[in-house]
Structure 1
């Protein structure tokens, strides 16, 4: 029986089979994450074609800051939606209500101070990120504007994930598509037609983020009405700690990209020059599209897995993980083949200089050499999040880029003096190592899950035997009375 309250299907996690659920939740999750990156990517395409390499360099330099904003958004979104999905499995509406209110309060508590601080110290931040004198004016103009869209972006992502954890997958999808379409149209007019340059691209970004938020909020009012939410600043320590600890690995997954790009920008600027920074910017945009697909599939699994954990349906939980791994592997293999075959064509979307296209294509093919393996790595991060194993999820999330990729890239570029090739080779090395480690950890967890399945099966058999015996005893008593 379907239960729709204010357009939200509250039985979707129980009545749908796992394959359909993954498809239904993967698409909005992928689109939501993709649009968060597309704001910078679309801006890069327009300013790169109209202005040139220095404008691309400016957006590359600012990109780590945008990654931090998305990282905070994902931390709150994943942390709160995991708690909500678990409580939804337990049918605990009061806890759901408390998590939503604390999550929204946390957004304002983090985003407003961060926006103000980055704006005040924007030139210092840009210099720390390795901005050259040629790129600095463009980066200054872009950052000065886009930073004010941060709170709308965070609210939109978090609202989308909260609603997905309650069974509404459409709001996240439609709000992000609305933002993407708006950004592309406004970018075209401001950058191409009116020649407003990077400032025009930045204004297009914050306007589209605001429109996306308005759409999400209008639909979020249904949830507000259903749970009788009264908006106000509410902070409960144990809820905030739960949101942050569970969502922190999602923060690391997003933030470490920004940290890595900042370090690689500096290394390449000093050892290769602006051309290295531009190539890194282009191929990181392309690879980000591929990685986002894996993140979307993995994060789509998270509310489904968390719900079944809350409902103590361990057999279905195992099925969810197995089918997610298969789905992620198949999807990553398709993207990998496309990337290898059409690298030049994809890169030419961003830049027109033939020399950059050729060098960037070589770098991109090296970067994604073992890409299909990384799908298991991302599934493992979100799986451990869904189980509430924050420490394991955190260790796995920092393993690939912070523990492996960063030291290896410094070793190859700075110490062994391999230049740009050192940066590109460090990616497949870290991808392979992290994936093998994730497979081992998931196998260990799978064995623990099998134990829970057997315990659950034994409990059901005992309950069944108890009911049968109780029925027999009752029948004997009835016979004696007669």
Structure 2
């Protein structure tokens, strides 16, 4: 625990970024496989309507995940900056406050969703064929929210201390438990979609328990008491605000993606029916592998940039940002070429109907065509979070999925039909990449200065708010 300062301050930037990026990418990959496990089992043993039901439920699961990431990333970034500033008291208070926020939000939000599940599922595009399946799945999956959130917070806190593999191993355990239980409940016992939901809940409990096993090291080192009395005594409005403000951009990125999926569900259902929803489910799940590379590398940069910013090493911050951009773009180009060539084989794992598969292949290739351009976009979002520039991070985070994608999708579906919805993705990627490059170039040429809380001013690339 005490060696984390040496890791951030002494190791080569590229090597340090890889040290954080590889576990982050694998962990995100495991999480994506996690989400796909239910899809594979219900698709093979229940049918295409069950896949459509999971697609309907996806935004709700995305919301729970987004809340978890909001708190986890906000907490870990705040801790990383305080590690750089050598402020253990603030670190201790941050951890206690993060647990309090997690428990309150993850008791409140799932309860509200459950109470209003009927109108919510209607708005998400549930049809008479998929409504009951989606309701059965969501009603049980909501129970996983609190375990998912606490597991994320504990894993990301350990990452901020340089323990990068805790998150990876926790999620790997979750996937293993989910696969085993899906096989038993869905394939063998034929419990149905409820079996898939139960598997998800139990696997999240396993993730949370595993993360806590390693999190005890932080509890011991900082002498943390995780009790209601300790939480109430340690509650600080400024810490809670900092956690939520820093993590809010990640929340927006996650929830905007779900919002875009909801819009696309409703736009394409009117012309393509339940088969269009099935295609959206398969394409969006597989295309997420592209974002895993970019977001994994970008998120790996965050604790490194936050630590060095807190320590006043702003040249190191700048070097980290540019190295991250190069790594994100190059690696995502390689993956895009691979997935573009083997699209039919990849999607064929989920879709057996030849007509639906052919439509999905065309949609997928359109969808991923310009994703590598968004490398600079996501890096800048995570960078602004790392240095506490919440306003800039928020404004940039809503651009791709809210400002660009939704209007484009609505317009292009009216002009081009079903394929128009898929063309909205590369156009939104191009626009978000363009504005990010503009911000990067403008900031670099302007040679603006970042203002630090301790009144140290050093020239650095993005400029101040």
The TM-score range, normalised by the shorter chain, is over 0.9
What whole-Å deviation, never above 9, does each CA across 1:69-124 have from its counterpart, x for those lacking one? 11111111111111110000011000111111111110011110112122222222
Is the CA contact (8 Å cut-off) linking 2:50 and 2:133 kept in structure 1? yes
1:24 lines up with 2:19 in the alignment = yes
Larger Rg: 1
* 8 A Cα contact 1:294 1:375, kept in partner: yes
Displacement of 1:53 after TM fit?
Answer: 0.8
> What is residue 117 of structure 1 aligned with on the other side?
112
> 1 CA distance for matches of 2:236 and 2:28?
28
Distance 1:151 1:396 in 2: 29
Cross-structure match for 1:480: none
**2:345 is matched with which residue?**
345
- Is 1:126 matched up with 2:121? yes
Question: In the alignment, what sits opposite 2:434?
Answer: 436
User: For 2:385, what is the secondary structure of its paired residue?
Assistant: helix
Q: Which residue of 1 aligns with 2:372?
A: 372
Q: Distance in 1 between matches of 2:12 and 2:72?
A: 25
- For 2:282 and 2:380, locate their aligned partners in 1 and report how far apart those are by CA, in whole Å: 28
How many Å separate the matches in 2 of 1:109 and 1:455?
39
User: Do the aligned residues in 2 keep the contact of 1:178 with 1:211 (CA within 8 Å)?
Assistant: yes
1:150 to 145, 150, 153: 145
Q: Which moved more, 1:425-434 or 1:435-444?
A: 435-444
State the Cα deviation string for residues 160-200 of structure 1 (Å, max 9, x = none).
Answer: 11111111112111111111111112111211111122111
Structure 1: unaligned runs, 5 residues or longer: 458-482
1:469 maps to which residue?
Answer: none
- Note the alpha carbon deviations across 1:302-323, whole angstroms, 9 max, x for none: 0000100011111111111111
Alignment pair present for 1:425 and 2:423:
yes
Q: Paired residue for 1:38, among 33, 51, 54?
A: 33
Equivalent in the alignment of 1:201:
196
Q: Shift of the alpha carbon at 1:452? A: 6.7
Distance 1:101 1:123, change over 3 A: same
Partner of 1:189: 184
Is 1:31–1:173's contact at 8 Å kept on the other side of the alignment? yes
Partner SS, residue 175 of structure 2: helix
Task: Confirm whether residue 95 of structure 1 aligns to residue 93 of structure 2.
Answer: no
Q: Distance in 1 between matches of 2:457 and 2:269?
A: 58
Q: Which stretches of structure 1, 4 residues or more, deviate above 6 A after TM superposition?
A: 452-455
CA distance in 2, matches of 1:84, 1:449: 28
CA distance 1:31–1:440, shift in 2 (3 Å): same
Gaps of 5+ in 2: 460-465
Match of 2:362 in 1: 362
Equivalent residue runs for 1:204-223 within 5 Å: 204-223=199-218
- d(CA) in 1 for partners of 2:132, 2:85: 54
- The CA distance in 2 between the partners of 1:149 and 1:386, in whole Å, is 29
Structure 1 451/113 Cα, relative in aligned 2: closer, same or farther at 3 Å?
closer
Does structure 1 retain, via aligned residues, the 8 Å contact 2:5–2:84? no
Alpha-carbon distance between aligned partners in 1 of 2:217 and 2:100, rounded to the nearest angstrom: 19
Secondary structure (helix, strand or coil) at the match of 1:191 reads: helix
The alpha carbon displacement at 1:258 in A equals 1.1
How far, CA to CA, are the matches of 2:450 and 2:401 in structure 1? 33
Partner Cα distance (2:281, 2:366) in 1: 15
C-alpha distance in 1, partners of 2:447/2:33? Answer: 38
Tell me, yes or no, if structure 1 residue 256 matches structure 2 residue 256: yes
Return the TM-score normalized by structure 1: 0.90
Could you tell me which residue of structure 1 aligns to residue 62 of structure 2? 67
Task: Output one character per residue of 1:299-351: Cα deviation in whole Å (capped at 9) or x when no partner.
Answer: 11000001000111111111111111111011101110011101111101111
The answer on whether the counterparts of 2:299 and 2:382 sit within 8 Å (CA) in structure 1 is yes
1:166 aligns with 2:164: no
Partner of 1:332: 332
Displacement of 1:451? 5.5
- What SS is found at the alignment partner of 1:11? helix
1:10 CA displacement: 3.8
Aligned to 2:463: none
Matched, 1:177 2:175: no
- Deviations 1:402-458, CA, capped at 9 Å, x for gaps: 0000011011114x3x2211100000100000001111212334456775799759x
Q: Which residue of 2 aligns with 1:465?
A: none
2:71 aligned partner: 76
Q: Distance in 2 between matches of 1:188 and 1:226?
A: 40
1:33 Cα deviation from its structure 2 partner: 3.1
What is the TM-score when the length of structure 2 is the normalising length? 0.93
Query: Does residue 1:391 correspond to 2:391, yes or no?
Result: yes
Q: What does residue 275 of structure 1 align with?
A: 275
- Residues of 2 paired with 1:36 and 1:111: CA distance? 19
1:146 match: secondary structure: helix
Query: Aligned residues, how many?
Result: 450
CA contact (8 A) 1:287 1:368 kept: yes
Indicate if the aligned counterparts of 1:97 and 1:229 stay in contact, CA closer than 8 A. Answer: yes
| Aligned position for 1:13 | 8
